[in-house]
C-alpha cells in the first residue's frame, strides 16, 4: 500500500505529488499542516532518518510500511519503483546529471527559497499566534537542531533573509539558466525528476524574488517554468491545494550556514 503524507503543493511537498501524477500511480493521500506541528503527533510515520533529514517537516512516503524521507529520494524511488513514463535518463551521464542537479538544488537553492518563503509567509503567521502557546510548542520540538530551525524563522527579519538568500541564489541561478539555454530539460533532451525537483524550488521565485527570476533576466528559466506549469501532472498536483494559496506554504528548509 502506497501512502503519501503531504501538505500544500509547494516546495518539497510538490515534488512527490507531481512524480506520482506523472506515473499515474494510485496512492492514499494524508494531508497535514506542518505549521500546526501535526508531524509530531502520535501515529505520524517516522524513523530516525525522517526525523533528522535536512527537509525535516515532510513530505513522507510510505510503501508497505517502509518510510521514505527526503523529497529527492522520493523522486528517485517513484521513478524506479513504478510503471509508467520514464523519469530517469537511460544513459549513465544522464543519471549523473540528475544527481548533480539534485545536489545543487538541495544545497544551494532549497535553503535560500525556504528562507525567503518563511520570512515572507511563515514568520508573520507564527507571530500572529498566542506567544506563550507558540513558545511552549516550539520548546517541545526534538531534536534541538529541528527546534532551532523553527525558532530561527521568528528571529530572522525579512530584509536579512532576502539579503542572504539573494546572495546565495546568484550562482546556481546562473548555472540553471545556462543549462536550460542549451537544452529544454536540465538533464538534456529528456524530461526527468531533475526537472520536477528544480521546478518545485524555482516556481516560488518570481513572486519571492522577481528581480532574480523574470523573463528579462532569466528567460530560459521563465520558459522552463511555463513548460512545467503546462504539464498535466503539474496541474493535477497544484489542484490538490486546500488553501487556494499553495505558494504561501513554507517550512524551514536546509540551513544555508551549513553549506556556506
Reported as a pLDDT band with limits 50, 70 and 90, residue 259 is: very low
Co-location of 126 and 18 in the same domain: no
Per-residue model confidence (pLDDT) at position 258: 42
Co-location of 69 and 114 in the same domain: no
Query: Per the domain annotation, does 245 fall within a domain?
Result: no
Reported as a pLDDT band with limits 50, 70 and 90, residue 251 is: very high
Range of weakest confidence among 50-59, 137-146, 188-197, 244-253:
50-59
Q: How far apart are CA 189 and CA 195, in angstroms?
A: 11
Co-location of 99 and 201 in the same domain: yes
pLDDT surpasses 50 at 115 = yes
Query: Per the domain annotation, does 86 fall within a domain?
Result: no
Co-location of 116 and 27 in the same domain: no
CATH of the domain at 11: 3.40.30.10
Contacts for 190 with CB less than 8 Å, ≥ 6 apart? 86, 89, 94
pLDDT digits (tens, 9 = 90+) for 17-43: 999 999 999 999 999 999 999 999 989
Co-location of 23 and 129 in the same domain: no
Task: Determine the distance from the C-alpha atom of residue 233 to the mean position of all C-alpha atoms in its chain, rounded to a whole number.
Answer: 16
Q: What is the pTM of this model?
A: 0.95
Co-location of 97 and 150 in the same domain: yes
Query: Per the domain annotation, does 102 fall within a domain?
Result: yes
pLDDT digits (tens, 9 = 90+) for 178-220: 999 999 999 999 999 999 999 999 999 999 999 999 999 999 9
Per-residue model confidence (pLDDT) at position 257: 47
Question: In terms of residue numbers, what domain contains 7?
Answer: 2-81
Co-location of 36 and 104 in the same domain: no
Mean pLDDT of the chain: 94
Per-residue model confidence (pLDDT) at position 138: 94
Amino acid at each position: 500500500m502506497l501512502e503519501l503524507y503531504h501538505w500544500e503543493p509547494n516546495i518539497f511537498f510538490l515534488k512527490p505529488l507531481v512524480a506520482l501524477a506523472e506515473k499515474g500511480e494510485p496512492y492514499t493521500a494524508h494531508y497535514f499542516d506542518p505549521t500546526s506541528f501535526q508531524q509530531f503527533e502520535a501515529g505520524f510515520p517516522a524513523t530516525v532518518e525522517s526525523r533528522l533529514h535536512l527537509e525535516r517537516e515532510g513530505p513522507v512516503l510510505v510503501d508497505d510500511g517502509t518510510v521514505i524521507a527526503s523529497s529527492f529520494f522520493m523522486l528517485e524511488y517513484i521513478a524506479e519503483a513504478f510503471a509508467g513514463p520514464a523519469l530517469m535518463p537511460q544513459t549513465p551521464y544522464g543519471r549523473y546529471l540528475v544527481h548533480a542537479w539534485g545536489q545543487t538544488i538541495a544545497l544551494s537553492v532549497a535553503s535560500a527559497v525556504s528562507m525567503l518563503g518563511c520570512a515572507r509567509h511563515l514568520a508573520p503567521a507564527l507571530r500572529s499566534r498566542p506567544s506563550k502557546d507558540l513558545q511552549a510548542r516550539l520548546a517541545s520540538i526534538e531534536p534541538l537542531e529541528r527546534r532551532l530551525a523553527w525558532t530561527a524563522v521568528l528571529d530572522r527579519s525579512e530584509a536579512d533573509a532576502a539579503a542572504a538568500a539573494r546572495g546565495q541564489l546568484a550562482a546556481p541561478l546562473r548555472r540553471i539558466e545556462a543549462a536550460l539555454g542549451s537544452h529544454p530539460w536540465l538533464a538534456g533532451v529528456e524530461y526527468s525528476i531533475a526537472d520536477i525537483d528544480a521546478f518545485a524550488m524555482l516556481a516560488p521565485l518570481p513572486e519571492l524574488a522577481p528581480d532574480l527570476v523574470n523573463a528579462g533576466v532569466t528567460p530560459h528559466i521563465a520558459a522552463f517554468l511555463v513548460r512545467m506549469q503546462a504539464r498535466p501532472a503539474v496541474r493535477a498536483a497544484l489542484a490538490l491545494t486546500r488553501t487556494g494559496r499553495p505558494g504561501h506554504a513554507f517550512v524551514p528548509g536546509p540551513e544555508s550556514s551549513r553549506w556556506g
